[in-house]
A and B are shown apart, each in its own frame.
Chain A
């Protein structure tokens, strides 16, 4: 007896030592699969000799230590529970065991108070029970197996329960025990389910949070959801952000002007009325060049790279904007009823615009080459001087962007001079609608269904660009 007590105490101390670890691990570990628990259940126990049983117990403890204390974990999440339920159990089981031997139960209840944990207690109880009821190995095996399994899992309860009922000759106390065990099982299962639900909730909110962050970043840099602009880089300057915002507003204005022109043409307004609309549109155009001049002074690279444009527009980008000769090409293909003189004028405009574009492109190319040479030069001159020279060259970029915008502005004004009021209105409508379709194309392309993992991202963009898609229907209705 003394030996057993010593052994069991030693084992208890071990378990207490591991208690803190299990408490820590228990909260972070997932509930163990049921299969694991079953190993501690009835099936794994061999009820042979006492020594064998003891060895098995020792093995079980060791395996408990090695494993992430799954069975204990589940319960240790709510450490207060086992204590209450537990203190009654040992007394009851000891009572049941006590029928065969009083000394065993005495031992047992004494140990019960010193225990804090259910599993070692139950194991220890089993141990003691086994030791006490040497003769009734089979009998004892069922409580031994029954108790740990029921305390740890809802599964395989029935068989062991039945065994227990049968072997302990159906006492009232067993029914109570059974009820308590069933309650334990239920509580454990509920807590596991709650934990699973909570984890799922966390996961979904994490995904939502990352989506919201992306949206916020896009919104902050662009100011509004227009034209399906691409997502900005992480380091956007204040000048660039300012420009994006202003340009967004200008685009809104542009849409308004275009629809005004459209309704004006459809209503067959008089020349005087239409002239007002057309002149206001030209003033609106002058406004964007002014904005771009300010933007180029603030952040020329941002303008050149063109993230403020929709991706499809950016495909055709030339010197931080559209190519004037391209616009004239679009115009020529759509305009009819031009006099020969007008046609001559427009073709001449296209030609001179192309020459000017070519000249500016050559100049920019030389600038790039010169910058390359400066940066690639070996350190013959002082490094700082080299940087200063390079900076000086970069400062020329602004001049080129200004000249390109100047070219665009002059083209618009010249068109106004060549064409009559009605023709000018039609011309601006055609070109305006073209760029509107190009922007709508960008949005639709970005929100097309994709077979990626994060389908939520796509749907998020779709809701974002919904305005654009709806307004794009107007554009595409003219196809």
Chain B
């Protein structure tokens, strides 16, 4: 519940600020709900190697993320497009082709592999995970 509010407000603020226009609200809602389900949510593609790397990173830290393989998801394409738009406005261009993986922690979007690693190196990732309840200690 706490997560959901955060997601909705953050996403709608993206909407206002960046004038995204014709955004299918049900897709957005879906993304929201998926992102809110777990402390750590990864949108990935089953064959993507960078997605494999990011999964490995979290698992190596002792976190068990919720992974959504969009190529195996019924609405995967829509979700992918929505995510790309979110990424396009908040980050720079993602370095991995196709924009995935995209990581949400505590309902908030962290971004692609680049952002995840940068936040891990500068020490901001672990507190974030702790706050979201994904990590103890």
Q: Does A139 contact B (CB under 8 A)?
A: no
B97 lies within 8 A of A395 (CB): yes
**B49 engages A366 (CB within 8 Å):** yes
A353 to chain B, nearest CB (A): 7
Of B8-16, B17-25, B29-37, B111-119, the one contacting chain A is B111-119
| In the complex, per-residue mask of A359-371: 1 if CB is within 8 Å of any chain B CB, else 0 | 1101110110010
- Given A396-B49, A399-B96, A403-B50, A414-B122 contact (CB < 8 Å): yes
Q: How far is the CA of A366 from the CA of B47 in the complex (A)?
A: 9
Q: Which of B49, B53, B118 contacts A406 (CB 8 A)?
A: B118
Q: Does residue A277 face the partner (Cβ distance < 8 Å to B)?
A: no
Mask, A316-331, CB within 8 Å of B = 1, is: 0000000000000000
A351 to chain B, nearest CB (A): 10
**Cα–Cα, bound, A411→B118 (Å):** 9
Contact A403 B114 (CB under 8 A): yes
Is A358's beta carbon under 8 Å from chain B?
yes
In A43-62, the 8 Å CB interface with B consists of none
A353 and chain B: residue at smallest CB distance: B121
User: Nearest chain A CB to B40's CB is how many angstroms away?
Assistant: 14
Does A400 sit at the interface, judged by CB under 8 A?
A: yes
Q: How large is the interface on A (under 10, 10 to 19, 20 to 34, 35 or more residues)?
A: 20 to 34
Residues of B within 8 A of A407 (CB): 117, 121
Residues of A close to B97: CB separation below 8 A: 395-396, 399
Q: Does A410 contact B (CB under 8 A)?
A: yes
In the complex, A352→B123 CA distance in Å? Answer: 8
Which of B48, B120, B125 has the most C-beta atoms of chain A within 10 angstroms of its own C-beta? B120
Partner of A356, one of B47, B95, B120: B120
Q: B117 touching A348 by the CB < 8 A rule?
A: no
Query: Are A358 and B117 in contact, CB atoms less than 8 angstroms apart?
Result: no
Query: With A370-B47, A396-B96 known to touch, is A363 a contact of B52 (CB < 8 Å)?
Result: yes
Q: Is A417's beta carbon under 8 Å from chain B?
A: yes
Q: Give the total number of A-B pairs whose CB atoms are below 8 A apart.
A: 82
The closest CB in chain A to the CB of B53 belongs to A363
Q: In the assembly, what is the distance between CA of A417 and CA of B123, in Å?
A: 11
B56 at the interface (CB under 8 A from A): yes
Option from B48, B57, B118 in Cβ contact (under 8 Å) with A355:
B57
B61 beta carbon closer than 8 Å to chain A: yes
For A362, the closest partner residue in chain B by CB is B56
CB of A471 to closest CB in B, whole Å: 33
Nearest CB on A from B71, distance (A): 14
Report yes or no: B50 in contact with A363, Cβ–Cβ below 8 A.
Answer: yes
Interface string of A432-474 (1 = CB under 8 A from B): 0000000000000000000000000000000000000000000
Q: How far is the CA of A366 from the CA of B57 in the complex (A)?
A: 14
B134 lies within 8 A of chain A by Cβ? no
Inter-chain contacts of B74 with A (CB < 8 A)? none
Does any Cβ of A come within 8 Å of B103's Cβ? no
A402 at the interface (CB under 8 A from B): yes
Q: Is A349 an interface residue (CB 8 A)?
A: yes
Task: Judge whether B83 is part of the interface by a CB distance below 8 angstroms.
Answer: no
B122 & A356 in contact (Cβ 8 Å cutoff): no
Give Cα A395 to B53, complex, Å: 16
Residue of B113, B117, B120, B122 with most partner-chain A CB within 10 A: B117
In the complex, B105 has a CB within 8 A of chain A = no
A411 to B60, CA, bound (A): 19
Residues of B within 8 A of A356 (CB): 57, 117, 120-121
B120 pairs with A352, CB closer than 8 A: yes
CA distance A366 to B53 in the complex (A): 9
What is the distance, in angstroms, from B8's C-beta to the closest C-beta of chain A? 31
Q: Which of A370-396 contact B (CB under 8 A)?
A: 370, 393, 395-396
> Inside 8 A of A400's CB, which chain B residues have their CB?
49-50, 53
- Cβ B117 vs Cβ A403 within 8 A: yes
Smallest distance from the beta carbon of B85 to chain A beta carbons, Å? 20
Counting CB contacts under 8 A, is B54 at the interface? yes
Separation of A49 and B90 alpha carbons in the complex (Å): 116
- Bound complex: CA A154 to CA B119 (Å): 91
Query: What is the CB-to-nearest-CB distance from A138 to chain B, in angstroms, rounded to a whole number?
Result: 100
Residues of A within 8 A of B123 (CB): 345, 348-349, 352, 414
Chain A residues positioned under 8 Å from B114 (CB to CB)? 402-403, 406
CA distance A360 to B114 in the complex (A): 11
A359 to chain B: closest residue by CB: B57
Known: A359-B56, A359-B57, A399-B96. A414 touches B50 (CB 8 A): no
Q: Can you sample 12 A-B contacts with CB below 8 Å?
A: A349-B121, A358-B60, A359-B57, A363-B49, A363-B50, A366-B53, A370-B47, A396-B48, A396-B97, A402-B114, A406-B95, A407-B117
- Residues of A at the B interface (CB closer than 8 Å) are 345, 348-349, 352-353, 355-356, 358-360, 362-364, 366-367, 370, 393, 395-396, 399-400, 402-403, 406-407, 410-411, 413-414, 417
Query: A-contacting residues of B (Cβ < 8 Å)?
Result: 47-50, 52-54, 56-57, 60-61, 95-97, 113-114, 117-118, 120-123, 125-126
